[in-house]
Structure 1
């Protein structure tokens, strides 16, 4: 495994089990020393989602879609939990391999790959890859003829946050048989079928149709001498706090029982937003306010519209509004119960008129220096963010409660030095403003034994203390 130098901001801060994200946010905000937008990422939420997945769909092995959020800590936690990975480029492949993940846990799930990326997959042993067109088959024949191929078919959900079928996926009835014949003539090894019903699927029954179509392709491939053993049911799984996986899981399980009862067929999926959406909470500071007063021509009543300018926008985290069709919900950090609500809009910090986060919403009258909180911001936000106009991309500060730490502490690729203990809120405040790697340790009354992976032998004892965040409020 490659060893890297970890900065304070790339480590996971362990907090008391009685503490949550809002407690950490409150401590940072109440310090009155912080102005930059920032994220709190709760690793425990990723672990919770994984447990739910394993309970609801035990047969389906998740291969996390790296493009959704490629934060190294997220990838390390998922690698420790045993997931596979869906990579779309050689850079994503390298990032996953650098964690010590075996290449057979990666599917190169981009049906249209540059030749250099195919060669790189061959060099790194990433054998499984998708295709949906004849040109791709000839490229693979030239650069990686030993690859294990998966034909991607198209089956679009009627409702989806992002439709993908217009770009990827061949017709299961007309195109797939032809492509399989070409692959056979080229001597290529096709091992299965994949599909993607659309990111953020709003029609669970689309999975039933797609799995049924996959069965048809499996059966046709058998007439050509192929013996498929892999079904990739793609992505599309919801990830917001209010969402549930159960309706989709039931349809998938029932469809697998009906169309793929053979346990020798390996079933994988490519969840992205499911794992990370609810793990990220974004805090933005109001730095400017413009009030627009309007007089009703009949009643002569004057109303006010408040334009709030915050320090993150559509060129930063809120690119998800433009590219991912996300609806974001602002929550004033202060308690606004009983306060009058006013017509409001929220704007990003750049000088571009396009930089509007929310066109119309109802908020209480807020002041400069107050905070707006946005939950469910972990998917397709930071990977696309840019420092346009000189405004920085928000930093991410990662937390985990004691139970999560206890689960992860001894599993590779995570090591003890990935975790920080102590006065978490105070150090979050300090590291938000600079990149200082210093850390203030408390008294040391607790001894924790760290064992080798797959071994009972003790390699080192670490003396640590967990501090209740409420002591610093």
Structure 2
């Protein structure tokens, strides 16, 4: 049963986005309420439909208003650098004029299907399937990356008119996910690659780099820009006239308040780009995590509890019990970020004894606890050690900052479904 919703209609003027409410449409249903109210309304509906099939499934609440706030924050601090987004909150960002960094045929198709022009897409996968290159050619998605000579030969065969961007290797040792292990041309190979492209009569138009996902050092961006400037100069000596710089990703989201923040990155990246590159060079970025990390909140239902030290060796009841909680989303689903993105997630109590607790501290004793996903695999542990009040099956936990590398990489291992997403817009 669907709750009555309002739909957000995105129809932006040239200087931004315009929003109005309209009757529900099949495109996207969006609440215009605080996140807490969306959670409470859904949980109230579950209580009233208590025996309906699968009614207690885990679900996300995604705040499009947070995406908007992040967009305007980006435009304020890095106005010259165009965000090219990894396509998750596609329709909203398309309306804001963002470009899209796509890794496959399916992602290109997803973006084209919402009306994005091919000129706003970069096929930023340095190793591409031949049939995907042919598809890009058919759709006039001409801009794509490479980092080796074999890829140039492939592109020459399937899309010789492409506009190529050389992805160089930079220092990503200060990042949680070091993408340089897989992609990026070492600087000593640059001349050979550019000469190979010239011999094949291919059109190289610029340089890209990626300092790694979850970068922990803002100066890594500045160092990478210096390397890119050197490649621009080297290419110019070979007769090229590059007009595109892609500064990649690794930007922290709004959830990062200490250490490396977006403000610190912008203070390094913006000035060095302006100093080293004239205004006729187009500068783009791939800020996937930045836009959505803080926009998604996931709630999971406690489906079971086990007291791991119910009795002592003397068969007396334990005076300080420890609990294992089992919830209905896990490492093979939305929490794959723990493995793939090195995230540390923190459970909070959403509903306890039918009392709604969003944003509140639970004034009860806290016990040593662990939280486990629903599959039969022992790797499916979300929290090995955390402090929680004593909870019962049927209570709910929630996890904030779950927008980056979560549901997009979820599987359905052991037959468990991917979590549903409810949308709201808190932008004012």
TM-score, L = length of structure 1: 0.78
Q: CA separation in 2, counterparts of 1:80 and 1:303?
A: 54
For residue 144 of structure 1, what is the aligned residue in structure 2?
159
Q: 1:318 aligns with which of 335, 340, 347?
A: 335
Shift of 1:314: 0.8
Superposition map of 1:48-63 within 5 A = 48-63=69-84
For residue 6 of structure 2, what is the aligned residue in structure 1?
none
- Return 39-48 or 21-30, whichever deviates more: 21-30
For residue 183 of structure 2, what is the aligned residue in structure 1?
168
Instruction: Please list the CA deviations of residues 346-372 of structure 1 after superposition, one character each: whole Å capped at 9, or x if unmatched.
Output: 011112222111111111111121110
The unaligned stretches of length 5 or more in structure 2 are 1-22, 351-356
2:247 matched to 1:233? yes
Shift of 1:242: 3.6
Shift of 1:336: 4.0
Shift of 1:23: 2.1
Cα 1:9–1:368, aligned 2, differ >3 Å: closer, same or farther?
Answer: farther
In angstroms, what is the RMSD of aligned CA positions? 2.0
Q: CA separation in 1, counterparts of 2:296 and 2:150?
A: 40
Q: 2:132 aligns with which of 89, 96, 117?
A: 117
Superposition map of 1:94-243 within 5 A = 94-172=109-187, 174-243=188-257
1:42, 1:398 within 8 Å by CA — same for their partners in 2?
yes
For residue 62 of structure 2, what is the aligned residue in structure 1?
41
The unaligned stretches of length 5 or more in structure 1 are 1-5, 404-473
2:311 matched to 1:286? no
Q: CA separation in 2, counterparts of 1:88 and 1:157?
A: 20
TM-score, L = length of structure 2: 0.86
Q: CA separation in 1, counterparts of 2:402 and 2:164?
A: 34
Shift of 1:156: 2.6
| Counterpart secondary structure, 1:165 | helix
Instruction: Please list the CA deviations of residues 159-212 of structure 1 after superposition, one character each: whole Å capped at 9, or x if unmatched.
Output: 21211000000112x011111111111111111100000011111100111000
Q: 2:397 aligns with which of 368, 372, 375?
A: 372
Shift of 1:402: 7.1
Runs of 4+ in 1 over 4 A off after TM superposition: 6-10, 294-297
1:158, 1:202 within 8 Å by CA — same for their partners in 2?
no
Aligned length: 386
Shift of 1:8: 6.6
Q: Comparing both chains, which one has the higher relative contact order based on Cα–Cα distances under 8 Å and sequence gaps of 6 or more?
A: 1
For residue 363 of structure 1, what is the aligned residue in structure 2?
388
Q: CA separation in 1, counterparts of 2:396 and 2:318?
A: 30
1:12, 1:400 within 8 Å by CA — same for their partners in 2?
no
1:64, 1:83 within 8 Å by CA — same for their partners in 2?
yes
Q: CA separation in 2, counterparts of 1:205 and 1:122?
A: 37
2:176, 2:212 within 8 Å by CA — same for their partners in 1?
yes
Cα 1:360–1:402, aligned 2, differ >3 Å: closer, same or farther?
Answer: closer
2:30, 2:424 within 8 Å by CA — same for their partners in 1?
yes
For residue 8 of structure 2, what is the aligned residue in structure 1?
none
Q: CA separation in 1, counterparts of 2:172 and 2:427?
A: 40
Superposition map of 1:278-427 within 5 A = 278-293=294-309, 295=312, 302-333=319-350, 334=357, 335-401=360-426, 403=428
